[in-house]
Structure 1
Amino acid sequence: AIALFAIQTNSPAGGAGYRVGMRGGGPLTTLVVPQEEDKYPLWKKLWLNVLPQEEPPNVTQHPLIFPWLAPTKTSEKAGNVVTPDNSHPLQAYWGMPRRIELDFTHTVAGICDLCGEHHESLLLQMRSKNYGVQYDSWLHPFSPYRQALKDPSAPWLAFKGQPGGLSYKDWLGLMLNREDKFNKMQPAKVVRAAGQRNNMSLWCFAFDMDNAKARCWYQHRIPLISVSHEEQFLAALNTVLVLASEALSLLRNALKSAKFDCPKEAKMDFSMVDIAFWQETEPAFRALQEALAVDPLRQDTQTRHAVSQWEAELAHYLFHVFDRDALTNPDCPDDILQRQLTARQDLASSYRKHKARKDVLALVE
């Protein structure tokens, strides 16, 4: 049963007419949980994420909530979609885009592969058919969403699992309404409903999907920040995140310049560099985020020092990684060593003069 629920919830594209889940394939789920999770049973943690309803649904509405209680709304014809307007909001929890039938007529006795228990009637096969329920225009209570800024009529798309999982550059969009250069973002309804509760975290999890294949399962716990001056807090952290992203771009370029005579034409896999960057600079960012959450106007000397300290640690990290990855052989030929040292000098100059760095330092002036 839980396997069927998982495929219906996370359903990726699977060929013509095989519909994706209500939030797309591999959606990101964010649940509000207490920071001291060990003190609470699972049901209490989940109960925090049950949104109040004006009134309980009556029996006649059950087929609109649980799709298996009614004939399947198939989607062979264009426009045959299920939306919040022609269904019930609670169907968000029970979406059923895939048409899967278990075959109970051919069973055998044996040991269950999942639980290891003996049973007289183990299922052997199932049938799958395309053109199941096609969902449209849903905002699932557990997922954050983004909308492309360039098109005001663009649909809201649920965040998805990504290679390497979440990094702190993603955190603000999970907690607060914000914009970046490309998207407008809003947190999940359950996160917005949590409001200014203290001592809470976000439990975030998703599959990283490669078309119809699940590459990895990721889950994270991140702090749920409540602030008194949200606009100033967002502005400061956005400035910090711009510098972090730009610094990573400078590091990539410097590594290419150190390794290749013609770096613009060279191809290099930076996936491990990117993942390591966001993971290894996270502790410093957490400390800065906590300081700004307490004092978003940066009136305290300690807060301003935290900003300066974060920038200094970021710069130290850039040159540490460059030296470790590029200056690997002190006995290399002089022309290669000169190329590497020139790349390092260019990295130092570009970082020192970068507008994003000046913007961060301006936060403490």
Structure 2
Amino acid sequence: MLNLLTNSWIPVRRTTGTDVIRPAQIAEEDVLFPDWPRPDLNLACLELLVGLVYIAAPPEDAEDWLDRKPDPVALQRALDPLALAFELLGDGPRFLQDLERIEGTVNPPDMLFIDSAGAQAARKNTDLMVKRSRYSSLPLPLAAMALYTLQNFAPAGGAGMRTSMRGGGPMVTLVRPDVPGLWPLIWANVPFGQALDADELDELPWMRPTRVSDQGQVTVPPEGWSDPHPELFFGMPRRLRLTADESGLTAVNQVPRGTNYAGWVHPLSPYYLTKTEKLPKHPKPGGFGYRNWRGILLQSEGGERPGCLNRWLRVRPGERARLLVGGWAMSNATPLDFIWSEQPVFSLNADAETRVADLVEAAEQAAYALAINTRAGKGEDDTQSGAAARARQAFFARTQAPFEDLTREIADGRTDVAEPWLTVLRRTALALFDAEVMPGLADLQESRRRKAVDARRNLVSSLSGYGGIGKKIFTALGLELPKRKKETA
């Protein structure tokens, strides 16, 4: 048996080495970070710990959030009344599993991992990027963490297999204060609210009959809650029951048409706005950098920053922090990439936010000019692969540090950043173009050499403000457009 509140089951790194702890021990000052064997489990573990503190001992208001000191004994006392709801196995309610036994498809334990092959992929032998039959059994702590990760990030999984309340593979964001230890990271992201009483455990979805969606029923946030509802951290879209023996978890029963969530806004995710609704953002394959900041670290018309970051900037302006950004990049049910990045957080007023967003726009246009001209110079077919894609990716990687430096200066009040940024864009783009296109140019036919030379000339022209792309770069930076040659004459 495993109780997730009273037993030690979470692997962590301490200042003195590794350990296995109870959740309440995250308030011990030498506990640094979860130490699961997979990054998606570590990310989900952070969300789980935020959720546990939220339902047991959340800050009541900003004063409580700023002043309360970590206390593992007090946190354990707050968690103990909720322990009944956090048994992984047994005859009573089971954590994140159907209240009653279900008779469904029996799956191997590794179906709990998002990058495991589904039944159809295994049957058709198409599991190239995903894996099948990796584990005959799982230790119960690993099974518990994988179960939470699946329910929290659940992708599409076939007919009736519901996604998480933020869709498949949501983007997870957590404020990470610039101080060591796991507790500051967790506490920085716990919403304001009131603790869940022991007689309110039926607010957790596995403590009541499952809200099924066999007739297309949709579960929206319940009315009457001024604070975030506990189910935000403990959604249960998949109908599962675990089977275990002395070796650990051996099988997972699953039936379709679990809870179908809609309209829930999670405080640890950014959202984008459509004409009719607010939808969660999802990671894209590749590195996450400043080009992705709009609507996540920066305000934007079509995006809404995560609630955890908005609160940090409102209540603790000027305090150093980073934003941890992670999650699975998915294509329907297929995992493409796992994203893990930490970006600096800046306190910016409205004018400074606009100025920084303009720097991002100028870089996007410069990167596009680099990609299309690299493609032309190499004689390739598209900008999504080959030299053009490499150059674009390297462009953002090389300009990340200069961008952060300029943003820090903007936060301190500097306004004359357009010319310095344009210099960075020019220097970086031309260096990458030359590295990809120019080597071996003398050995090519005259027509190919001419195309390469023309492509470089076009890139220089765009970076000097000429043409459609050049106009967009200069307009974003607020620079005067150069006069055309006829006008100069």
Q: TM-score, normalising length from structure 2?
A: 0.63
Q: Secondary structure at the match of 1:316?
A: helix
| 2:372 aligned residue | 253
| 1:49 aligned residue | 189
Structure 2 contact 362–474 (Cα < 8 Å) conserved: no
Quote the Cα distance in structure 2 between the aligned partners of 1:361 and 1:10. 39
Structure 2 contact 368–392 (Cα < 8 Å) conserved: no
Identity across matched positions, percent: 27
**Could you say if the C-alpha distance between residues 206 and 364 of structure 1 is closer, same or farther in structure 2, counting changes exceeding 3 Å?**
farther
| 1:23 aligned residue | 166
Q: Shift of residue 67 of structure 1?
A: 0.8
| 1:7 aligned residue | 150
Quote the Cα distance in structure 1 between the aligned partners of 2:434 and 2:247. 62
Q: Shift of residue 364 of structure 1?
A: 10
| 1:345 aligned residue | 457
Q: Shift of residue 159 of structure 1?
A: 1.5
Quote the Cα distance in structure 1 between the aligned partners of 2:361 and 2:159. 40
Q: Shift of residue 311 of structure 1?
A: 1.1
Give a deviation string over 1:125-173, Cα, whole Å, max 9, x none: 111111001111011010011113xxx21x2121212111312022242
Q: Please give the residue correspondences for 1:55-66 in structure 2 after superposition, counting only pairs within 5 Å.
A: 55-64=194-203, 66=204
**Could you say if the C-alpha distance between residues 84 and 239 of structure 1 is closer, same or farther in structure 2, counting changes exceeding 3 Å?**
same
Q: Give the residue type in structure 1 aligned to 2:473.
A: R
Does residue 317 of the first structure (1) align with residue 428 of the second (2)?
yes
**Aligned mate of 1:283, from 401, 407, 415:** 401
Q: Secondary structure at the match of 2:295?
A: helix
Structure 2 contact 238–258 (Cα < 8 Å) conserved: yes
**Could you say if the C-alpha distance between residues 222 and 235 of structure 1 is closer, same or farther in structure 2, counting changes exceeding 3 Å?**
same
Q: Please give the residue correspondences for 1:29-108 in structure 2 after superposition, counting only pairs within 5 Å.
A: 29-36=172-179, 39=180, 41-53=181-193, 55-64=194-203, 66-85=204-223, 89-104=229-244, 107=245
**Could you say if the C-alpha distance between residues 254 and 19 of structure 1 is closer, same or farther in structure 2, counting changes exceeding 3 Å?**
same
**Aligned mate of 2:261, from 120, 129, 135:** 135
| 1:292 aligned residue | 410
Select between 158-167 and 87-96 the one with higher mean Cα deviation: 87-96
Q: Give the residue type in structure 2 aligned to 1:339.
A: K
Structure 2 unaligned blocks of 5 or more? 1-143, 482-489
**Could you say if the C-alpha distance between residues 24 and 364 of structure 1 is closer, same or farther in structure 2, counting changes exceeding 3 Å?**
same
Q: Secondary structure at the match of 1:20?
A: coil
Q: Shift of residue 271 of structure 1?
A: 3.8
Instruction: Report the aligned-residue RMSD.
Output: 2.2
Q: Shift of residue 199 of structure 1?
A: 1.1
Quote the Cα distance in structure 2 between the aligned partners of 1:272 and 1:208. 19
**Aligned mate of 1:267, from 370, 375, 382:** 382
**Could you say if the C-alpha distance between residues 200 and 321 of structure 1 is closer, same or farther in structure 2, counting changes exceeding 3 Å?**
same
Does residue 241 of the first structure (1) align with residue 360 of the second (2)?
yes
Q: Give the residue type in structure 2 aligned to 1:129.
A: V
Q: Secondary structure at the match of 1:339?
A: helix
Does residue 356 of the first structure (1) align with residue 472 of the second (2)?
yes
- The number of residue pairs the alignment matches comes to 325
Q: Give the residue type in structure 1 aligned to 2:197.
A: N
Structure 1 contact 205–219 (Cα < 8 Å) conserved: yes
| 2:295 aligned residue | 173
Structure 1 segments of 4 or more deviating over 6 A? none
Quote the Cα distance in structure 1 between the aligned partners of 2:337 and 2:433. 29
Q: Please give the residue correspondences for 1:223-234 in structure 2 after superposition, counting only pairs within 5 Å.
A: 223-227=344-348, 230-234=349-353
**Could you say if the C-alpha distance between residues 273 and 84 of structure 1 is closer, same or farther in structure 2, counting changes exceeding 3 Å?**
farther
Q: Give the residue type in structure 1 aligned to 2:368.
A: S
**Could you say if the C-alpha distance between residues 360 and 176 of structure 1 is closer, same or farther in structure 2, counting changes exceeding 3 Å?**
closer
Q: Shift of residue 216 of structure 1?
A: 2.8
Structure 1 contact 307–360 (Cα < 8 Å) conserved: no
**Could you say if the C-alpha distance between residues 185 and 156 of structure 1 is closer, same or farther in structure 2, counting changes exceeding 3 Å?**
same
Structure 1 unaligned blocks of 5 or more? 108-119, 299-303
Q: Secondary structure at the match of 1:16?
A: coil
Quote the Cα distance in structure 2 between the aligned partners of 1:337 and 1:259. 10
Quote the Cα distance in structure 1 between the aligned partners of 2:230 and 2:480. 48
Quote the Cα distance in structure 1 between the aligned partners of 2:257 and 2:476. 52
**Aligned mate of 2:322, from 188, 196, 201:** 201
Q: Give the residue type in structure 2 aligned to 1:147.
A: L
**Could you say if the C-alpha distance between residues 17 and 282 of structure 1 is closer, same or farther in structure 2, counting changes exceeding 3 Å?**
same
Structure 2 contact 160–258 (Cα < 8 Å) conserved: yes
Quote the Cα distance in structure 2 between the aligned partners of 1:145 and 1:361. 27
Q: Give the residue type in structure 2 aligned to 1:161.
A: P
Q: Shift of residue 121 of structure 1?
A: 4.2
Quote the Cα distance in structure 2 between the aligned partners of 1:102 and 1:69. 16
Q: Which has the higher contact order (CA 8 A, sep 6+)?
A: 1
Structure 2 contact 283–327 (Cα < 8 Å) conserved: yes
Give a deviation string over 1:229-267, Cα, whole Å, max 9, x none: x2211221222111111111111211222233xx7xx33
Structure 1 contact 239–356 (Cα < 8 Å) conserved: no
Quote the Cα distance in structure 1 between the aligned partners of 2:255 and 2:345. 42
Q: Shift of residue 363 of structure 1?
A: 6.2
Structure 1 contact 308–364 (Cα < 8 Å) conserved: no
